[in-house]
Amino acid sequence: MTALKPGVTKVAILGFGTVGSAVAKLLSAGYLPGLQLALVYNRDVARKRASAEARFAGPDVLWTDHFEDVLRSDADVIVELVGGGEPAGTWIEQALVAGKSVVTANKQLIAYRGPELARLAQANGVQLLHGAAVAGGVPVIPGMLQGLSGEAVTRVSGILNGTCNYILSRMERGDSYAEVLKDAQRLGYAESDPTADVGGFDARAKLCILARVAMHAELDPEQVPTQSIAAIDAIDFAYARELGCTIRQVSKAQQLSGDCMYARVAPMLVPLDSPMAWSQGTQNMVVSTGRFGGDVVFSGHGAGGNATAVAVVSDLLAVAQGARAVTLPVQPKGVTGDSVAPHYLRFIVDDKPGIVSAISGALSKVGANIDSLLQRRGYPKHRLPFVVTTEPTLNSIIAAAVDSIAAMDCMLEPPLALEMLVVDDKDEETA
């Protein structure tokens, strides 16, 4: 690794938004000797320089909207907080080739190009750290790279998107999806286009990073199936409570035999006694299951500038002090989203005789058995919500049955199918 300048490690920040300004605030707090903010890059830099947060940068910091100034500067470490694939990817490449270490919170870039960029960093004797890319200020990545590197991790599961957790935990208290999403956008938890969060794509990128770090498996994010939380309604939480559950967006990756792994991001019914059910607001939770040490749980706030800035500055300190993560070989793996689990199926129908028989027949036709039927009182017959739960069945079989049921004349909305989370430790013993 290229030796850093003795005494002081100079830092350049790319992107002076919520996280970038929080990083500057931490660096200016005076309790981190040896780290000095030297440069800030941002588009429309004059506006950022005039902002209230600019006071955290200090009077001697260079402000620029030209990336070439960053490469020519004497900054030792570049903090990339612009996000997205490009131009961030090209800028990180150029920084590594120029002999500058990089700290990033860019989960999409690390999910898709992490190994390639890591090899480039190694070839140029510098470091690429991304501890803030998953779970914000929760030290999941360094904890797995250092504390669990000797474990044979067989499964990683958890809540990886603070926005979805905020929405679902508010809906659990009775608020509507549309109302909570609007509040999440107002508070800065959700973007104006929330698709990446509610559609599962943000969590998918994080899950692929965790699979690489914890289980040394390289997954193509495009192969990992996702399911949106947007179709979930207040009635689903009422029925979930009757089943002793709540609803959370769950990300899960699990070792299978051969060259394939199970991976999926979807809203699921979670038992109320599960640690995932206890996670509220913007909290993230990751459960790592190992063959030798069992479960290890990481939990904390995963959204917000301050929490993410803590992870970024921790990476900066690691670079400044020459810390090196444990690296183990990573193997490409195929992905399946198919697993055997009980399912929750919610229908909204114009009630007519024979509906339950028709649904039962469609399930029976594909080999799925009904476990229970729930129907709450007080709803009009012309728009009646009711629920069927099934015995453990492959996701693909349930999907085929739901497609058939959706075509029935009585269906007023597409049926909602959610997996019911069950952890079977026996599977882990033979994984």
Residues contacting 283, CB < 8 A, separation 6+:
159, 162, 165, 299, 300, 301, 302
| Residue 416, token pair as written in the block | 């909602």
What is the enclosing helix (H) or strand (E) of 269?
Answer: strand 260-271
Q: Where are the beta strands (DSSP E) in 280-401?
A: 283-290, 294-301, 331-332, 334-336, 340-341, 343-349, 370-374, 384-390, 393-394
**Could you give the count of Cα atoms lying within 13 Å of 89 in the half-sphere of its Cβ?**
14
CB neighbourhood size of 286 (10 A)? 28
Residue with tokens 């992905």: 335
DSSP type of residue 17: S
Comparing CA positions, the residue from 80, 226, 245 lying closest to residue 168 is: 245
Question: How far apart, in whole angstroms, are the C-alpha atoms of residue 295 and residue 154?
Answer: 10
Whether 313 and 35 have beta carbons less than 8 Å apart is answered as yes
**Bridge-partner residues for 373, per DSSP?**
388
Which phi and psi angles does 233 have, rounded to 5°? Answer: -125, 170
Query: Looking at the annotation, which residues are catalytic?
Result: 206
CA dihedral 302, 303, 305, 310 (to 10 degrees): 0
Q: Count helices and strands (H / E) in the chain.
A: 16, 20
CA-to-CA dists, residue 52 to 22, 42, 56, angstroms: 12, 15, 9
CA-to-CA dists, residue 8 to 38, 96, 310, 320, 378, angstroms: 11, 20, 19, 8, 68
CA-to-CA dists, residue 50 to 15, 25, 57, angstroms: 15, 16, 11
Whether 313 and 110 have beta carbons less than 8 Å apart is answered as no
Whether 290 and 197 have beta carbons less than 8 Å apart is answered as no
What is the enclosing helix (H) or strand (E) of 198?
Answer: helix 195-198
